[in-house]
Structure 1
């Protein structure tokens, strides 16, 4: 069913959706530090849409984690966070998930790992047989998505977050742009869109940067790395401007209006996570794509991504055992880790 690694076909707007997920990560790790004022925390919390308790229907649901334990977040980029939050609006098959990220914050809070799972990954979905992993959200909402990821990875999910994508350009623009290094000219083969060098990109410019496919060795997998490079640039900009009250206020307000989370993931919980991880720098966050062996066709003709279980399973085991930091460091060459310079 698998074939040699080749370009995976995706819609251009997938970069639009995947990139909004970074806002969630930044909010979770940084909003607590800025939100020292009660009124601002309350404003952010009121902006966040609540999903109820999606873990109630998940088998072997995790007990509430202690503050000193590792924390695993499942972050989705969907085309409809509102319908995910209001069961009365749920329509089976109508919701799509275009970005799936497993975010691991270890107990020692000395690093963080962000693993992007391709939405077309062919997996077992409880009660539905084999299908693309994003179908779990369409079939059964947050609960089935959590169950599917837990069964696939063996990793306990502690909190669940969904975003929509209307304001991701505003997130970048609220930071007055982000700095991205371009190692070589980028264009469509005829026109150069970005010359070699360091660029301060607006939201629209960064979107154009991530959508450009020409010259990418791994096609859409290469585009994922550019998306992650953008995420890293946003994290860096936030880390360098935490004392800019106006900028941070605008940014976190924009992000919070794009987020839905389980009821247990309160703004107080986010603040506590921040306080325990406030020593993290951008270099301490490992972005990577779930190991894959290539693309292929399912028996019914769908274009799919085939996960490389020989590499995928040990990585997930390391996350489950809270040994991901050392594992990634020791196996960087075997993993799809975001390099310092992205083409």
Structure 2
């Protein structure tokens, strides 16, 4: 297992194949600022989403190891069967598989999803909501964040913040609400908790983040430049807001820089070729999530094999276009939709043409600098 307290000394810059490790746009993203709260968790859960489709069940794992890991994944009874109206599936063509769309939620209470008997209406909300799309040609992955306070129509409940859907009706209503909003057919559902993410960062030997200024993180002073941070230091880096010139605007860049650094470390840090490191890392991952019963270890393996040539530069970290913040009629602070901007993006997502859309409209969707264009 890798050292859980990496040295704080500066490290060498990564190769062009590893843009995630040290290339961070901490304070210069064009995305609109987000409201304070638990938004740092969006970055953490995005990492899980990417790791899930890239790593879990890769062909090199033996049957015993796959069974051992698969048996620890908490499963959710079919959340799709209770949905009466679904977004249409993408048509299948002879030369291209359909995209795979995974709805990923982050919550403090994963057991409320994995064990429906412990779920109580109104007791749980989701701090992170995102769609992870694996393109049909398996050349791109898009991680699309939906701000939790986005004001939408929740089927059967009227206008509400989108994170209320899970609170009102669990996984099924969350899926239905996202499908109704975006028109994107959801194939799988994952809900994750966050307690293990500090340990997860330590499990891979820390992550390399490019610090634009000298700063103190979790009691350790760092100079500017590419630094290897352990879990506690990386968490402190992403949680900071008050000292940053752009507040939440800057903090979102830090969150996304951390998630991209983890992906790069997994892909390029020797984890996939070291059985001990791989087993430790995957064991930490499976402790954090519950999945729909149809998202089997075999399907995860199939996705992982299809994506074995993927590089971190081919992963888009995006946020839906919004019109900023506002106030609802009943006095809630909300994120306001920008339908002029988000509707064509949703159409591209549903049609599996995100890459083409981003190329034609490079400024239409907030995204982390340095991801695929």
TM-score, structure 2 as length reference: 0.84
Tell me, in whole angstroms, the C-alpha distance in 2 between the residues paired with 1:203 and 1:269: 30
Alignment of 1:199-214 (within 5 A): 199-214=227-242
**Deviation for aligned residue 1:214:** 3.7
**Deviation for aligned residue 1:221:** 4.0
Change in 2 beyond 3 A, CA 1:179/1:262: same
Stretch deviating more after TM superposition (59-68 or 240-249)? 59-68
Query: Who is 1:331 aligned against?
Result: 361
Query: Who is 1:10 aligned against?
Result: 36
Query: Who is 1:36 aligned against?
Result: 61
Query: Who is 2:193 aligned against?
Result: 164
Alignment of 1:308-327 (within 5 A): 308-327=338-357
Which secondary structure state, in structure 2, belongs to the residue aligned with residue 333 of structure 1? coil
Which secondary structure state, in structure 1, belongs to the residue aligned with residue 80 of structure 2? helix
Stretch deviating more after TM superposition (233-242 or 330-339)? 330-339
Count of matched residue positions in the alignment of Structure 1 and Structure 2: 334
Which secondary structure state, in structure 1, belongs to the residue aligned with residue 44 of structure 2? helix
Tell me, in whole angstroms, the C-alpha distance in 1 between the residues paired with 2:119 and 2:85: 24
Tell me, in whole angstroms, the C-alpha distance in 2 between the residues paired with 1:6 and 1:42: 43
On the 8 A contact 1:18/1:98 being kept in 2, the answer is no
Change in 2 beyond 3 A, CA 1:187/1:201: closer
Question: Aligned pair 1:236/2:261, yes or no?
Answer: no
**Deviation for aligned residue 1:58:** 1.4
Query: Who is 2:130 aligned against?
Result: 101
Which secondary structure state, in structure 1, belongs to the residue aligned with residue 58 of structure 2? helix
Tell me, in whole angstroms, the C-alpha distance in 1 between the residues paired with 2:256 and 2:263: 11
TM-score, structure 1 as length reference: 0.91
Tell me, in whole angstroms, the C-alpha distance in 2 between the residues paired with 1:328 and 1:258: 32
Tell me, in whole angstroms, the C-alpha distance in 2 between the residues paired with 1:50 and 1:152: 26
Q: Which runs of 5+ in 1 are unaligned?
A: none
RMSD: 2.4
Change in 2 beyond 3 A, CA 1:91/1:215: same
Q: Which runs of 5+ in 2 are unaligned?
A: 1-30
Alignment of 1:127-146 (within 5 A): 127-146=156-175
Change in 2 beyond 3 A, CA 1:234/1:7: closer
Which string of whole-angstrom CA distances, capped at 9 and with x for unpartnered residues, describes residues 15-48 of structure 1? Answer: 2465144123202221222652111111111111
Change in 2 beyond 3 A, CA 1:96/1:40: same
Question: Aligned pair 1:27/2:52, yes or no?
Answer: yes
